[in-house]
Amino acid sequence: MKKDFNVIIEKDEDGFYIASVPALKGCHTQAKSLDVLMERIKEAIELCLENQIEPTYPTDFIGVQKISVNEKTNYYDVPKTGKTVAKKGSYKAIKGNLISKKFKSEGSKQRTK
């Protein structure tokens, strides 16, 4: 019995083509050329079906759309202590607290804790 599968092909930053089959969980491969990639993905599909991986249905292909979004600031280096913390020269909103920049005026003293 012949089965048809949709294959998604992408190219990574190193120039490798990556193929994945959304209907078969874990079914993917990579290659340096598209010809080799197509041979490898057919083999990967056959192996997945031999190992009794059930396809997820429905798998009607609708299309592919590229969407661009702006990257957000990386907050991974901020401690998760619940306290408001800011690095020198940076002001961030953490746990709903807004750290605002205060300018030092003449005669005022800055307190250090």
C-alpha distances in Å from residue 111, one per residue of 4, 42, 91, 108: 69, 67, 17, 10
Instruction: Find tokens 């057919």 and name the residue.
Output: 42
Tell whether pTM > 0.85.
Answer: no
CA distance 92 to 101: 10
Residue 12 pLDDT class (50, 70, 90 cuts) = very high
Q: Average pLDDT of 93-100?
A: 43
What six digits make up the tokens of 44?
């990967």
pLDDT at 85 over 80: no
Residue 55 pLDDT class (50, 70, 90 cuts) = confident
pLDDT at 105 over 50: no
Phi, psi of 53 (to 5 degrees): -80, 120
Are 17 and 9 in contact by the 8 Å Cβ rule? The answer is yes
Spatial CB neighbours of 27, under 8 Å, sequence gap ≥ 6: 20, 21, 41, 44, 45, 48, 53
- The vertex-24 CA angle with 21 and 30, nearest 5°, equals 40
Handedness of CA 11, 58, 41, 25 (dihedral sign): positive
What confidence tens digit (pLDDT) does each residue in 21-53 have? 999 989 999 999 999 999 999 999 999 999 877
